[in-house]
Amino acid sequence: MSDLLFTIYPWVKSLHIMAVISWMAGLFYLPRLFVYHVEKAQSVDGAEPIFFEMEEKLLRVIMRPASIVAWICGLIMVFTPGIVGWDFAWPWVKGVAVIAMTWFHHWLMARRRDFVAGRNTLTGRQYRMMNEIPTVLMVLIVLAVVLKF
């Protein structure tokens, strides 16, 4: 089994990188959509259903599949012998940051449900600030993986 994992490793790593890029694009864009939803949807007739559709498709068509593929490929790489040195801090830092990113993804899904139910209480400014969370997590992950501290 370890021979198979090592043989497919470059393909899995490539797929992981592509999935992470797609997931991150959604994590950056969805809070920005929420900003515009809060600030513009009420002032333009018929805009709110368009925001609902854009937000839902971003979550369902891009973010959910990308996050699943990123997680599956990441776990395959973790179980590939010789790839992760558990005596270093970097895999633990990356793991915590990925869990935080997944929590943020689920937090965004909950905020979308609030919009649909008419219960959104956050402002555009608050969504702008939340938009920085994936950036901080990305920086932590990239530095941990590249520097391997």
Give Dmax over CA atoms of the chain in angstroms.
59
Cα 25 from Cα 105, distance rounded (Å): 12
Q: Which of 64, 105, 85 is nearest to 147 (CA)?
A: 85
The pLDDT value given to residue 21: 98
Among 147, 3, 149, residue whose Cα is nearest residue 80: 3
- pLDDT tens digits, residue range 53-110? 999 999 999 999 999 999 999 999 999 999 999 999 999 999 999 999 999 999 999 9
Question: Is the distance from CB of 109 to CB of 59 less than 8 angstroms?
Answer: yes
Coil vs helix vs strand at 82: coil
**In 3-state terms, the chain is what percent helix, strand and coil (to 5)?**
85, 0, 15
pLDDT of residue 42: 83
* pLDDT value at 1 more than 90: no
Q: What is the pLDDT, as a whole number, of residue 2?
A: 80
Q: How many domains does the chain divide into?
A: 1
Q: What does the alpha-carbon distance between residue 123 and residue 11 come to, in Å, rounded to a whole number? A: 42
pLDDT value of residue 73: 98
Q: Give the start-end residues of each E strand in the chain.
A: none
Q: Which domain holds residue 108?
A: 2-147
Per-residue pLDDT band for 18 (boundaries 50, 70, 90) equals very high
User: CA nearest 105: which of 73, 77, 74, 137?
Assistant: 137
Indicate the length of the chain as a whole number.
149
